[in-house]
């Protein structure tokens, strides 16, 4: 059993077209070095598939939970740290094709690389077999990360929430987000967002949606605050 078979067994899904899985595992750093296509378009698709499937799982799994509670839980489950935890559970880092620079900088252990690759794989499953198979795959790999009852639902705090709490505590003011630019064709746009902290520090990040770019920028801003404290 080769590495791809091992990974597919962990996913609970075997690809009809394994080239989709190989593409999902191809980071842009590796693609740029070898003149190949990378996984960012699949990541864009997988992000949407994941949110819909997790919404359905929570909707039927917690009939007594409020809309607000479900929204917070979904946000936690599809956040970068949460997806990275699922990716580590799958040992996904060992399967990713990375460029030399990204490899030397510890890319295999980085939350952003792991979470983006997981989303790309889910996008690939959707393309390979459609929504129902993608839903089965997501239900399987997230099974151990979803509580059994409403009372056990964790109160997740994403990067934006954590950053706002930190700036309120330190500066008595909130961070401000701004969309700096969007680039690329409509079907694969990239968005660059900047967050400005009350002390004047500015951090920007780029992602396949404004929401994800804001979260990434907030995560980097938290690191900046930690380094300066």
The one catalytic residue among 80, 102, 116, 119: 119
Both tokens of residue 199? 């002390």
Find all residues with CB under 8 Å of 22, minimum gap 6, and list them. 4, 97
In angstroms, the CA 25 to CA 39 distance is 7
DSSP at 145 = G
In angstroms, the CA 82 to CA 147 distance is 14
The one catalytic residue among 47, 80, 111, 158: 47
Both tokens of residue 160? 């934006």
Both tokens of residue 196? 């400005």
- Residue 139: closest CA among 25, 39, 56, 43: 56
- Tell me if 43 sits within 8 A of 208, measured CB to CB: yes
Examine the residue annotation and report whether 196 is marked as an active-site residue of this protein. Answer: no
DSSP at 173 = S
In angstroms, the CA 14 to CA 211 distance is 31
- The CA angle 167-169-173, to the nearest 5 degrees, is 45
Both tokens of residue 227? 């380094």
Examine the residue annotation and report whether 47 is marked as an active-site residue of this protein. Answer: yes
Count how many Cα atoms sit within 13 Å of the Cα of residue 196 in the half-sphere of its side chain.
6
- Active-site amino acid positions: 47, 119
């Amino acid at each position: 059993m080769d590495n791809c078979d091992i990974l597919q067994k962990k996913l609970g899904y075997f690809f009809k077209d394994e080239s989709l899985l190989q593409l999902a595992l191809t980071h842009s750093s590796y693609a740029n070095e070898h003149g190949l296509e990378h996984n960012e378009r699949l990541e864009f698709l997988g992000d949407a598939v994941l949110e819909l499937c997790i919404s359905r799982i929570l909707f039927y799994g917690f009939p007594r939970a409020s809309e607000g509670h479900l929204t917070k839980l979904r946000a936690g489950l599809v956040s970068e740290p949460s997806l990275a935890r699922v990716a580590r559970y799958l040992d996904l880092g060992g399967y990713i094709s990375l460029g030399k620079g990204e490899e030397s900088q510890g890319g295999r252990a980085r939350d952003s690389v792991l979470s983006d690759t997981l989303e790309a794989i889910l996008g690939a499953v959707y393309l390979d077999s459609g929504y129902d198979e993608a839903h089965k795959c997501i239900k399987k790999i997230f099974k151990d990360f979803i509580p059994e009852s409403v009372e056990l639902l964790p109160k997740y705090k994403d990067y934006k929430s954590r950053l706002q709490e930190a700036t309120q505590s330190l500066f008595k003011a909130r961070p401000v987000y701004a969309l700096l630019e969007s680039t690329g064709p409509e079907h694969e746009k990239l968005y660059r967002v900047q967050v400005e902290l009350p002390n004047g520090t500015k951090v920007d990040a780029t992602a396949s949606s404004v929401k994800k770019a804001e979260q990434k920028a907030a995560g980097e801003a938290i690191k900046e605050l930690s380094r300066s404290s």
